[in-house]
Amino acid sequence: MEWISDATGVRRVVSRARARQLTIGLVPTMGALHAGHAALLSALRPQVDVLVLSVFVNPTQFGPGEDFDTYPRDLAADAAWAEAARVDVVFHPDASVMYPVPPQTFVEVQGLDRRLEGAVRPTHFRGVATVVSKLLNLWTPDAVAFGQKDAQQVVLVRRLLQEMLWPTRLVVVPTVREPDGLAQSSRNAYLSPAERAAAPVLHRALSDLEQAVRGGARDARRLSAELARAIQGEPLAQLDYAVVVDADTLEPVPIMAGRVLVAVAARFGATRLLDNCCLNISGADVQAVMP
Ligand code: AMP
């Protein structure tokens, strides 16, 4: 496994791969790897020749007062995950490589970046779109993998690829969960024991909604109100949103039909957690799908 930290190293690996007609797959992460990240690596491993893991805690996607300084960093553990997943290259740049001068150039996916998470974190997706663009420019990957857990990120990256004419294939990987249903997240490490015990309410409430839809419920407003009530029933959960939206536009929908994303965000103490389910509904047929 090779470690690379600057643009020259990237260009060396990319030209070597291209000369041998090898395909490149990229998994962008902020490190503190867990089984969710490993699932992205395993999904891409058989699809590409050169598997690249990037580990970069991207400052521009954190707002003022957010957890950039305290975000968990554990490069030794990340290296072990990477070895186990048969990663070929770990890209671990300093901020000065990704942002060589104080940034004046940003990429925005307007509209999508202000919905759901964007309403609470107004500059978050500008930071995401900018760093993903830089990674795509550097690595020119054939495929890139993102997790369903951050469904809005998936929707936004899909749009970014389409509009910026990148031919990169987007691979979306289902959310990996703890045995009690909690979505794996680097931020779960922040939870107190009581908050950790309360957090599975998000997945439980989403599963109940999915069951109701499978049972024939189609009124999205009523379903999202029930979803919100279920989460608010947990005293340690502070609900930010519980919404039913179109899976491409992220605009609220009145009835459950077509591809809909059911997304929730709640705070447990100082820790914000996200979860979602995505359903494709056609008449009586209800399928769980990727965003
Ligand atoms: P992060 O390091 O948190 O920025 O996440 C890097 C990538 O891993 C993103 O595409 C996430 O959506 C994905 N990811 C994080 N947690 C999970 C999970 N529990 N299951 C699947 N993918 C995940």
Mutating to test ligand 1, I would choose from 57, 61, 150 the residue with most ligand atoms within 8 A of its C-beta, which is 150
Rounded Cα gap, residues 70 and 5, in angstroms? 22
pLDDT tens for each residue of 120-152: 999 999 999 999 999 999 999 999 999 999 999
Task: Give pLDDT, residue 67.
Answer: 94
Closest Cα to atom 11 of ligand 1: 147
pLDDT tens for each residue of 50-106: 999 999 999 999 999 999 999 999 999 999 999 999 999 999 999 999 999 999 999
Can you give the pTM of this predicted structure? 0.97
- For residues 18-32, give the mean pLDDT: 98
Start-to-end Cα distance in the chain: 32
Distance 215 CA to ligand 1 centre (A): 31
Distance 9 CA to ligand 1 centre (A): 25
Q: From residue 48, give the alpha-carbon distance in Å to each of 4, 7, 42, 86, 88.
A: 19, 21, 11, 12, 11
Q: Could you give the 3-state DSSP secondary structure of residue 18? A: helix
Task: Give pLDDT, residue 15.
Answer: 98
Band the pLDDT of 192: cuts 50, 70, 90: very high
Q: How many CA atoms lie within 13 A of 264 on its CB side?
A: 33
Distance 219 CA to ligand 1 centre (A): 31
Does domain 186-288 fall under CATH 3.40.718.10? My reply is: no
Rounded Cα gap, residues 22 and 141, in angstroms? 11
pLDDT tens for each residue of 94-113: 999 999 999 999 999 999 99
- For residues 186-211, give the mean pLDDT: 97
Q: What are the domain boundaries of the chain?
A: 2-173, 186-288
CA dihedral 99, 100, 101, 104 (to 10 degrees): -40
Q: Which CATH superfamily is domain 2-173 in?
A: HUPs (3.40.50.620)
Rounded Cα gap, residues 68 and 59, in angstroms? 7
Rounded Cα gap, residues 291 and 280, in angstroms? 10
